């Protein structure tokens, strides 16, 4: 049908208008007329005139994935669509249709949303999608019905997964951590867990921030145990999400003991610890044929913990020391190491906010540490001390943010980490 010149009457009875003429004035008129009538309008390649954006679509049967940049970068959306196209084969559409056919039966069998979700998680992780992928749709249907009939597994008791969230960069999460975050009903997270990582967790999980203040450790730790146990006993899949690795200065051991005593099922998913990440992102090899044959993960955050360390051993050269929570005690660390014979010229690097956007690397020699202590260091920060620290700059790769210049005589007191 030829409509000739645009006239307002063309909009009669429509609810969506796409203006795609090559005449800007006409497009403008169409947009204005649509706006007057409160009809949704999209003007091709003109974000300002469009009330709606049309997303790039990936379609597999009844399943659709829409990608939109809100008009900001349509080419980027198209690029992502190509990637998603290659990720999803046609069996995903068959799977959507299979679920649709059995939707009522599934709802009747699992009126409780949490149980239904678990059942879906199990089916999705099981044989049904595999059978569809190999084009055995009948067998897939039988397997699905079978899974509906044998449902006792879904009533599994609650559990806790102790997950290492890594140092901040979400790219450093393990696949198992990601899966646990996707399946969690309740997530108890520390203050060291980055917002970027939390954003990857299931949206409708209950998030509980158990970030604790340094001087209220003991009480908070008991509360954390109680919270984990309480939620798991109610049948929830709890994720206890910790910065770095749960077993490196993470009190993971104590939490597992509490779970064990309460007979709660648990699993541990390791994470990338701060020493690994900070070293990598600052270009410091933790061991090196010529400079360091061993690595020690140490904490000396208070006088008492410092007293328990074997400083004579720590003071030996050709080893790398990674001090966690050490920034409040830099002076103490320097004094004890030098007193036990470590050279005052031993290089160090302090990595603040390792692997995060605002990462800062401060380098110097052991002798300078008290000066650094008076600089405005922000939490979290890790001290790497040893000959390898001198390589910080030379090994910094292009993907790594360059170390920022630091004013080491800043007056802000350092934070107790």
Name the minimum Å distance from CB 275 to ligand SAH: 7
Q: Which residue is nearest to ligand SAH (CB)?
A: 244
Residue 311: φ, ψ to 5°: -70, -30
Convert residues 207-246 into a mask of x (bound to ligand SAH by CB under 6 A) and - (unbound): -----------------------------------xxxx-
Looking only at residues 155 through 174 of this chain, which bind ligand SAH when binding is defined by CB under 6 A? 167-168
Residue closer to ligand SAH, measured from CB, 119 or 324? 324
- The label of the residue with tokens 């405005």 reads 376
> Binding of ligand SAH at residue 269 (CB under 6 A)?
no
DSSP 8-state code for residue 379: S
β-bridge partners, 58: 65
Annotation marks residue 94 as catalytic: no
Q: Total residues contacting ligand SAH (rule CB under 6 A)?
A: 24
Q: Which stretch binds ligand SAH (CB under 6 A): 91-99, 153-161, 197-205, 247-255?
A: 247-255
Residues 6+ apart with CB under 8 A from 234: 158
> Binding of ligand SAH at residue 274 (CB under 6 A)?
yes
Residue closer to ligand SAH, measured from CB, 347 or 380? 380
Which of the following is catalytic: 94, 169, 185, 190?
A: 190
Give me the numbers of helices (H) and strands (E) for the chain, helices first please: 16, 14
Annotation marks residue 212 as catalytic: yes
Mapped onto helix, strand or coil, the DSSP state of residue 404 is coil
> Binding of ligand SAH at residue 311 (CB under 6 A)?
no
DSSP 8-state code for residue 158: P
Name the minimum Å distance from CB 315 to ligand SAH: 21
The CA distance from 220 to 115, in Å, is: 31
One residue of 355, 366, 369, 414 binding ligand SAH per CB under 6 A: 355
Q: Which stretch binds ligand SAH (CB under 6 A): 70-78, 89-97, 302-310, 348-356?
A: 348-356
The CA distance from 153 to 132, in Å, is: 23
Residues 6+ apart with CB under 8 A from 334: 366, 367, 369, 370
What are the Cα distances from residue 127, in Å, to 63, 90, 122, 154, 407? 20, 16, 9, 16, 59
> Binding of ligand SAH at residue 353 (CB under 6 A)?
yes
Q: Which H/E stretch holds residue 324?
A: strand 319-324
Residue closer to ligand SAH, measured from CB, 169 or 387? 169
What are the Cα distances from residue 214, in Å, to 122, 301, 330? 40, 10, 17
Name the minimum Å distance from CB 365 to ligand SAH: 20
Looking only at residues 369 through 388 of this chain, which bind ligand SAH when binding is defined by CB under 6 A? 380-382
> Binding of ligand SAH at residue 270 (CB under 6 A)?
no
Name the minimum Å distance from CB 111 to ligand SAH: 41
The CA distance from 159 to 2, in Å, is: 65
SS3 assignment for 248-269: CCCCHHHHHHHHHHCCCEEEEE
Name the minimum Å distance from CB 194 to ligand SAH: 8
Residue closer to ligand SAH, measured from CB, 118 or 242? 242
One residue of 33, 325, 390, 391 binding ligand SAH per CB under 6 A: 325
Q: Which stretch binds ligand SAH (CB under 6 A): 270-278, 285-293, 303-311, 391-399?
A: 270-278
Radius of gyration over alpha carbons of the chain, in Å? Answer: 29
The CA distance from 164 to 242, in Å, is: 5
The CA distance from 277 to 66, in Å, is: 35
One residue of 354, 360, 392, 414 binding ligand SAH per CB under 6 A: 354
- Residue 68 C-alpha from the chain's centroid: 22
Residues at the site binding ligand SAH, with contacts judged by CB under 6 A:
167-168, 192, 242-245, 248-250, 273-274, 278, 324-325, 351, 353-356, 380-382, 417
Which residue numbers are catalytic?
Answer: 190, 212
């Amino acid at each position: 049908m030829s409509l000739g010149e645009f006239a307002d009457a063309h909009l009669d009875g429509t609810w969506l208008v796409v203006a795609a003429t090559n005449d800007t004035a006409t497009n403008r008129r169409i947009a204005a007329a649509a706006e007057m009538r409160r009809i949704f309008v999209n003007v091709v390649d003109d974000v300002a005139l469009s009330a709606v954006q049309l997303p790039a679509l990936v379609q597999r049967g009844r399943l659709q994935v829409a990608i939109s940049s809100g008009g900001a970068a349509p080419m980027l959306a198209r690029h992502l669509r190509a990637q998603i196209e290659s990720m999803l084969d046609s069996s995903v559409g068959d799977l959507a249709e299979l679920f649709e056919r059995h939707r009522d039966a599934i709802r009747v069998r699992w009126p409780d949303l949490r149980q239904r979700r678990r059942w879906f998680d199990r089916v999705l992780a099981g044989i049904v999608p595999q059978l569809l992928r190999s084009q055995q749709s009948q067998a897939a249907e039988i397997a699905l019905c079978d899974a509906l009939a044998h449902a006792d597994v879904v009533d599994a008791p609650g559990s806790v997964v102790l997950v290492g969230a890594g140092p901040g960069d979400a790219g450093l999460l393990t696949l198992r951590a990601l899966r646990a975050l996707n399946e969690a009903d309740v997530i108890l997270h520390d203050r060291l867990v980055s917002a970027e990582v939390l954003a990857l967790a299931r949206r409708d999980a209950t998030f509980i921030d158990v970030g604790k203040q340094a001087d209220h450790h003991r009480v908070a730790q008991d509360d954390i145990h109680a919270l984990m146990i309480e939620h798991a006993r109610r049948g929830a899949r709890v994720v206890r999400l910790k910065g770095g690795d749960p077993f490196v200065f993470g009190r993971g051991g104590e939490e597992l003991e509490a779970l064990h005593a309460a007979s709660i099922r648990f699993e541990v998913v390791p994470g990338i610890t701060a020493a690994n990440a900070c070293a990598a992102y600052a270009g410091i090899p933790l061991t090196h044929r010529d400079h360091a044959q061993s690595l020690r993960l140490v904490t000396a955050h208070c006088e008492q913990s410092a007293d328990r360390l074997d400083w004579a051993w720590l003071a030996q050269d050709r080893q790398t020391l990674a001090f966690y929570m050490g920034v409040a005690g830099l002076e103490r660390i320097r004094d004890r190491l030098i007193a036990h014979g470590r050279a005052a010229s031993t290089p160090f690097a302090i990595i603040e906010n390792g692997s995060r956007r605002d990462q800062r690397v401060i380098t110097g020699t052991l002798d300078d540490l008290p000066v650094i202590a008076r600089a405005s260091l922000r939490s979290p920060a890790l001290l790497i001390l040893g000959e390898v620290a001198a390589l910080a700059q030379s090994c910094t790769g292009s993907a790594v943010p360059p170390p920022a210049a630091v004013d080491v005589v800043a007056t802000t007191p350092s934070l107790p980490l």
